[in-house]
Amino acid sequence: MAKEIKLSLLYRDMWQSSGKYQPRVDQLRQIAPVIVDMGCFARVETNGGAFEQVNLLYGENPNAAVRAFTKPFNDAGIQTHMLDRGLNGLRMNPVPADVRRMMYKVKRAQGVDITRIFCGLNDARNIVASIRYAKEGGMIPQAALCITHSAIHTVAYYVDLAAQLIREGAQEICLKDMAGVGRPYSLGQIVKGIKAQFPHIPIQYHGHSGPGFSVASMLEVARHGADYIDVAMEPLSWGMVHPDVITIQAMLKDAGFSVPDINMNAYMEARRLTQSFIDDFLGYFIDKGNKVMTSLLVGCGLPGGMMGSMMADLNGMHNAINLALRQRHKKEVAFNDLVLQLFNEVEFIWSKLGYPPLVTPFSQYVKNIALMNILSLAKDEPRFSMIDKDSWNMILGKMGRLPGALAPEIVALAEKNGLEFYDGNPQDAFPDDLDRFRANMKEKGWDAGQDDEELFEYAMHERQYLDYKSGIAKDRFEKELAAAKEKANAPIVISRPVVEMPKIDVAKVLAIYPHAQPVHSPARGQVLWSYEVYGRSVAPDEGSEVKENDTLCYVQAYYGVEPVKTNFSGKLVALFAKQGAVVEKGEIVAFVG
């Protein structure tokens, strides 16, 4: 009898790997029954990852979205699954223990069957607690192995990690090949090794198509015992996303596997609807580069899911880097050359940072360090001159144990800055905090919601939830969408300079203060000089003294708040960003001279 391979549609990850936003709840209601009618999916990924945050960002209730999207699949007997960042829950930074525990009860009540739990460091301690919490909440815990390719990430490494997680209660295993850099043969051997010990444990393969290995990888894992294969569908398949279901179904069928037929009328309707969502508004936030595959990812191993944010960061930093080069009479760099420079820098520093698998949030941390290194080198400063707080927490072990050893210069830099390494359980640093949120909601007169889902959302995404409740998020999104539409409909300029200067009079500042140094935004978002959560009430005045590592202001990024710090002492000679202004990553917000 032919081995059966079941297919899972990554409707959430298709969007996250393409651009910034997910479909609205009305769009999810339209597409769900059509996906059911396709008749080929045993599972659909409905939520998790940044899904809930994205809903909050444009003023939509994420709990309503999850319930509406999961219901048609629940009714049809199709399993739903979510992506779960372990210690970080559904956000980019660690979550209090009781909030993390609550998540599984809430998501199960909302109709989610399976939680795919991963730790970006493959630290089993960050996964095991979630396995236990998921079972308590009535969900199926699927433990994920973050796949990458290095001297230490061997077949034996992954088989041993899977065995440990299964013994701790994982009911399924996922090979999460987030950058698609897993080599097909090795992936097959990992599946073979796990099945030899645990033949009853279902294995699911998730592989992005960016560097081009994914189709071969899917065939190889199927041949060695994988049970489920994650796929995408047009118009969002391939590129940095995932292979299309038609291709994978045909390949597996030809190889002798039992695979379900596809209702092509429903497929074409789902394709049409998805394109209509792109045309409606989502396409304004999709980076066209994410439709392109590139072998350059084989070396750096960056994941497809962060390509949109990475390109936005590079666009923001391009001017800043070229400004630094011009000030030092160096040759400026074209954008495409900067992309290659970033890939090379990530590859160069990865081993020095202990080989963290490049998946959220650690891919962002490594990318941020690499990008700031490029800026530092342009300014004739040494590498690792600018490392943000979250990246330091990764280096110091506060988010889990790094797979490899840190380079001696990184250890020495930590010691120089008076930073201490941490080897305890990461969750211990983030104790219970749910009572505070419950009390805050009572004080504000807010309902905790069905199955306490509103309380959970507030506790998981505090800042974004407050903006959603106040209406700020909806207003901000509508302005962002209007600006994106205006930009898209602007007349095409046939000839323009390769490098565009920031919309600030940099030359005037440097003419008066020739030795002034720019302070750059660490992320894209709103500038907050006044921010009550951090106790900042008044913006510093021009002419005031600042010290190295002072926090000038904050930037509200989509994933949280980032401090904007100085890297030098002196006088604040110019401010360029007002309260509430939106800045790009790397944009100049001030000069210190």
**H or E segment and range at residue 528:** strand 525-528
C-alpha angle with apex 108: 105 to 109, nearest 5 degrees? 85
pLDDT in tens, the chain (593 residues): 799 999 999 999 999 888 889 999 999 999 999 999 999 999 999 999 889 999 999 899 999 999 999 999 999 999 999 999 999 999 988 999 999 999 999 999 999 999 999 999 999 999 999 999 999 999 999 999 999 999 999 999 999 999 999 999 999 999 999 999 999 999 999 999 999 999 999 999 999 999 999 999 999 999 999 999 999 999 999 998 999 999 999 999 999 999 999 999 999 999 999 999 999 999 998 877 788 888 878 887 877 666 666 777 777 788 888 888 888 889 998 888 888 888 899 999 999 999 998 887 888 889 889 988 998 899 899 999 888 888 998 999 999 999 999 999 999 999 999 999 998 999 998 999 999 999 999 999 999 999 999 999 999 999 999 999 999 999 999 999 998 888 887 664 443 333 333 445 666 777 778 778 888 887 777 787 765 444 444 567 777 888 877 787 888 775 566 778 777 788 888 887 777 777 877 788 888 87
**H or E segment and range at residue 289:** none
Assess contact for 206 and 235: CB atoms under 8 A: no
pLDDT at residue number 500: 37
Distance in angstroms (rounded) separating the CA atoms of residues 211 and 209: 6
Assess contact for 518 and 320: CB atoms under 8 A: yes
- The first and second tokens of residue 555, run together, are 């930037």
Assess contact for 135 and 168: CB atoms under 8 A: no
Angle between helices 362-378 and 335-350 (to 10 degrees): 120
Distance in angstroms (rounded) separating the CA atoms of residues 444 and 292: 48
Distance in angstroms (rounded) separating the CA atoms of residues 143 and 127: 7
- Could you list the beta-strand ranges (E) of 13-157: 41-48, 79-84, 114-117, 140-146
Distance in angstroms (rounded) separating the CA atoms of residues 108 and 84: 13
Q: Is-cis flag, bond preceding 408, omega within 30?
A: no
pLDDT at residue number 535: 43
Assess contact for 43 and 79: CB atoms under 8 A: yes
How many Cβ atoms from other residues are within 10 Å of residue 245's Cβ? 26
Q: Name the one residue in this structure whose structure tokens are 């409707």.
A: 11
Tell how many helices (H) and how many strands (E) occur in the chain.
Answer: 22, 16
pLDDT at residue number 534: 40
Backbone angles phi, psi at 573, to 5 degrees: -95, -15
Assess contact for 30 and 274: CB atoms under 8 A: no
Q: Which amino acid is at 538?
A: V
Under CATH, which architecture does the 506-592 domain have? Beta Barrel (2.40)
Backbone angles phi, psi at 61, to 5 degrees: -75, 115
Distance in angstroms (rounded) separating the CA atoms of residues 43 and 37: 13
CA 234 to chain centre: 22
Q: What is the DSSP string of 2-34?
A: PPB-EEEE-HHHHHHTTBS----HHHHHHHHHH
Q: For the CA atoms of 326, 332, 334, 335, what is the dihedral angle to 10 degrees?
A: -40
How many Cα neighbours within 13 Å face the side chain of 517?
A: 17
Q: CA torsion sign, 412 to 413 to 417 to 422?
A: negative
Distance in angstroms (rounded) separating the CA atoms of residues 589 and 585: 10
Sheet with 545-546, strands from edge to edge, namely 517-520, 588-592, 570-575, 545-546
CA 481 to chain centre: 21
CA 153 to chain centre: 22
Could you tell me whether strands 588-592 and 560-565 are parallel, antiparallel, or unpaired per DSSP bridges?
unpaired
How many Cβ atoms from other residues are within 10 Å of residue 132's Cβ? 15
Assess contact for 566 and 544: CB atoms under 8 A: no
Distance in angstroms (rounded) separating the CA atoms of residues 327 and 230: 49
Pinpoint the residues of the chain covered by CATH 2.40.50.100.
506-592
- The first and second tokens of residue 362, run together, are 């650690």
Distance in angstroms (rounded) separating the CA atoms of residues 313 and 583: 11
Distance in angstroms (rounded) separating the CA atoms of residues 492 and 490: 6
- The first and second tokens of residue 314, run together, are 């590079």
C-alpha angle with apex 357: 353 to 359, nearest 5 degrees? 120
pLDDT at residue number 161: 98
Which residues have CB under 8 Å from 223's CB, separation 6+?
Answer: 188, 255
- The first and second tokens of residue 520, run together, are 């750059």
Distance in angstroms (rounded) separating the CA atoms of residues 9 and 474: 29
Q: Name the one residue in this structure whose structure tokens are 């599984």.
A: 104
